Chains A and B, each alone.
Chain A
Amino acid sequence: MFPLIETIHAVGLLTCFALLATSRIGACIRWLSFQGILFGMVPLIVHDDGLTTRVLLLAGGNIALKGIAFPWILLKLRARANYNREVQPFVSFVMSILCGILILALSVWLTQEMKPALAKAPFVMLDSSIFLIFVGLFLMISRRNALMQVIGYLVLENGIFVFGVITVVGTPLLVELGVLLDAFVGVFVMGIAIYHITREFGSMDVDRLTELRG
């Protein structure tokens, strides 16, 4: 089944680059949901002890949240600010892609040291998980729009989720559900925050929030 993983890995990387290169927020959200569904399937593949309810629950919950719920919330929010659908990057798209390549190199280099310790884990997934984390960070840093920061945060979450799935066998279900719940509440809260911000500031440009300094 490794080819399958390879594929997911490759496609996952591509989704990241797509996120880096897209200028329309709507498109970004769709890429995000696709990525969520893609990586939501990972638990179904990597586990070695049959399709237990636990695994199904895990995969289902993730796909449902990251593939459907979050994108839906984000689209709703975008609809509120319909006059502004650009991601407003600090860094041009070309530069972003170049940075993406650098980040890829960095993450591969970093995972080199972990790999011997994590004998059983599929290495490619390890790479992509670290890569996702850093791309998420990069998106949050380099995009003005509040929605893009949420998107970046979710990409980061995906990375951590993947890492957890492939390294830690048998995390208690309670913990997993707690994590999912937190992710859900987190996005929900961020949504409300963005709602207030757009109402107060009349835009989602969080770079305008610079009255508190010193």
Chain B
Amino acid sequence: MFEFIVSISLLALGGMLAIVLFPRAGMCQLAGQICAVSGSAFGLVGALHVLVTGDAVSLSGVWQMPGGSFHLEIDVLSAFFLLPIFGLSIVTGLYGRSYFAGHGGVASAASWFHLNMLTAAMALVIAAHDGLLFLLAWETMALSSFFLVIFDDRKAAVRHAAWTYLVAAHLGTAFLLVLFVLLGSIAASSDFAAYGAALKDHQALRSSVFLLALMGFGVKAGIVPAHVWLPEAHPVAPSHASALMSGAMIKVGIYGLVRILTLLGTPETWWGWLLIGVGALSGVLGVLFALAQHDLKRLLAYHSVENIGIILLGIGIGVLGLARGMPLLAVIGFASGFLHVLNHSIFKGLLFLGAGAVQRAVHSLELEELGGLLKRMPWTGTFFLIGAAAIVGLPPLNGFVSEFLLLYAGFLAVLQPAAAVAVAGLIVLVILGLIGGLAAACFAKAFGIVFLGSPRSAEASEAREVARPMRASMAVLALLCIAIGLGAPLAVASLAGVVAQMTGATVGTTSAELAIVARPLALAVSVFAVLIAVAALAWALRARRLAVASARRGPVWGCGYLFPSPKMQYTASSFAQPLTTQFHLLIRNRETFVPPQGYFPTASSYASDSGDPALHLLFVPTFRWFDRVVTRLNVIQHGHIHVYILYVAATLIALLIWESF
């Protein structure tokens, strides 16, 4: 707990210093960075300590606020969720200073202040063990990230995005307010422990509590259709802030859901089904929308929706296992969910940092203006490639490990005689297969269009590799991707504690059950070893051949056309077109297609732009309708004083008559 307090105070200090030192941009950048990194490092150490020893640390104090008490507690679950927060915060802190190089004093001061506040608030949310404290930290988190989103507030689109974001956050908070006030009223205390105890003898309330939690936290996590804020907010924030938000903040939503689940005791079967359904929806729609994007960061944001879906699938399987009394299924389901939380924060952070590097080098994230960057930014390109392969779930990287666990759980479920479980397992298998394929397509497009081929714009062709600290922070994450991929058995085994807290079983039995899946993983890793060996062999072979035989550069095959130009390359829209037309019903692509005409066709083009149906079919119409209806209220206040007097008289007479009866 000591480390935690130190880290929070360091983060706060960093924010304050940044504000105080704003006249000197360099100084305040330095202060912000040092405090962010050191503070997060402290916090990380503390969290790891809890994870290793496995016993919770807590701190309670007096808090002068009725209906609340000051109670921080870091148990294994909290510690686990602190890892991505502090870990990513270290990396982004490293990254941020060079990313902000050249910004004015006020801008960088504000950004560092809010960045540190965001980290501190997230950490407090995770550590808070009291309803009111939790809400307070939760709102602070939303507010500080709001300021990060509206960082570039001169653009109208950014302002609109920030509005959308805070509205969504507040919508979620409304549900959470009801949730915690309700729990507080039945528990006559605002302490989480008391909640758990009270829920035991209010069985009737459990389902409504679960639904409230799912809605409240789901908005923050970005489940469909409450995901609309995500693709708006993440692209416009500074890239390392996007990394922090997408990598860590939406996980806080998952944490809340999981925390409530631990309080609820043995779940109902239909909760698991609901979670799986929501997860499937979010996963598939998320990746489909991503496929249709041509702004790199929007695309990544939609992938966050997809990955939240995968996480929910895992948790759903776990809940199903608990409800049906299948411990092994539950353990593996939760394990996959938790591991994916960690993995996603790693590779999504990496990808956003990569996108930030591209932004800084080319000053654009519009896919159709990029290309050929792997030649010009080899490091960034390689790291981004690793991140892409990881998020797609390709062996031998970390993404594959968590998806392996999930599919493993799916197969386990499929083998169960009970149809309810088997079908759930089948759904998980098919959905995950589909997601995997589509994600592969999407990142083939993203990486291929951005980094491969030849540049599609002058800026892209003059791109330079980014500063060393930015590269270093990406390298750290990339190495983590590989390490977890090849150290899969260890990674899975280390989940025992946190999974045990979910299932309520002892750590011993849980790790025994995890060992069941760790062994196959070990064999899988050995297969990957062979893979790498064969690849090296083949590479050496072709290298030797080419050493003897000639290797030269020439034009690519242009079907007889001798001077292919960058303009002739495949575009992102065309790459996605087969799939987007396939799922047109779902993603509402607005296509503009000018077909070639005549024997000697001159101008012809294909471009696609995707609107989010949740936005254009659900929210926007609702808001418009509401505006129309409400505006009718005008007639009440039309300025005629006589009628105003009439209101007073009418109210009086109405009341007199009403109470005379």
Contacts and interface: CB of A to CB of B under 8 A. Distances in A.
A and B: direct contact (Cβ < 8 Å)? yes
Interface of A: 90, 106, 109-110, 113, 134, 137, 140-142, 144, 206-207, 209-214
6 contacts: A137-B645, A141-B645, A144-B642, A207-B641, A209-B639, A209-B641
Nearest to B641: A206
A23 to B, nearest CB: 18
A141 B646 contact: yes
Interface string B633-644: 010011111110
B660 interface: yes
Given A137-B645, A141-B646, A141-B649, A110 B638 contact: no
Contact of A110 (B640, B648, B660): B660
B585 interface: no
B114 to A, nearest CB: 37
A11 to B, nearest CB: 25
A128 to B, nearest CB: 17
Contacts of A141: 642-643, 645-646, 649
Given A134-B653, A141-B643, A210-B638, 6 more contacts: A106-B653, A137-B645, A144-B642, A209-B639, A210-B640, A213-B638
Contacts of B634: 213-214
B656 interface: yes
Contacts, number: 38
B645 A140 contact: yes
Nearest to B649: A137
Nearest to B652: A137
Nearest to A109: B660
A203 B561 CA distance: 87
A110 B641 contact: no
B152 to A, nearest CB: 34
Q: Which one of A109, A144, A212, A214 has the highest number of Cβ atoms from chain B below 10 Å of its Cβ?
A: A214
A206 B634 CA distance: 20
Contacts of A134: 649, 653
Contacts of A214: 634, 637
B15 to A, nearest CB: 42
B639 A211 contact: yes
Contacts of A213: 634, 637-639
A213 B634 CA distance: 8
Q: Which 3 A-B pairs have the closest CB atoms?
A: A210-B639, A213-B639, A137-B649
Contacts of A109: 660
Contacts of A142: 642
Contacts of A212: 639
A52 B97 CA distance: 89
Contacts of A210: 638-640
Contacts of A207: 640-642
Nearest to B639: A210
Q: Which one of B639, B646, B648 has the highest number of Cβ atoms from chain A below 10 Å of its Cβ?
A: B639
A141 B648 CA distance: 10
Given A213-B634, A214-B634, A90 B642 contact: yes
A166 to B, nearest CB: 19
A144 B641 CA distance: 10
Contacts of B643: 141
Q: Which one of A113, A134, A137, A142 has the highest number of Cβ atoms from chain B below 10 Å of its Cβ?
A: A137
Nearest to A112: B660
A206 B637 CA distance: 16
Nearest to B631: A214
A137 B641 CA distance: 12
Contacts of A206: 641-642
Nearest to A130: B656
Interface string B536-566: 0000000000000000000000000000000
Contacts of B639: 209-213
A142 B643 CA distance: 9
Nearest to A106: B653
Interface in B606-661: 634, 637-643, 645-646, 648-649, 653, 656, 660
Contacts of A113: 660
Nearest to B643: A141
B522 to A, nearest CB: 72
A209 B640 CA distance: 7
Q: Which one of A141, A209, A213 has the highest number of Cβ atoms from chain B below 10 Å of its Cβ?
A: A141
Contacts of B642: 90, 140-142, 144, 206-207
A142 B645 CA distance: 10
A110 B634 CA distance: 34
Contacts of A144: 642
Interface in B155-189: none
Nearest to B640: A210
A197 to B, nearest CB: 12
Nearest to B660: A113
Contacts of B640: 207, 210
Nearest to A153: B645
Nearest to A211: B639
A159 to B, nearest CB: 13
Interface string B488-508: 000000000000000000000
Contacts of B645: 137, 140-141
Contacts of A110: 656, 660
Contacts of B648: 137
A214 B643 CA distance: 14
Interface string B372-405: 0000000000000000000000000000000000
Nearest to A110: B656
A90 B642 CA distance: 10
B655 to A, nearest CB: 11
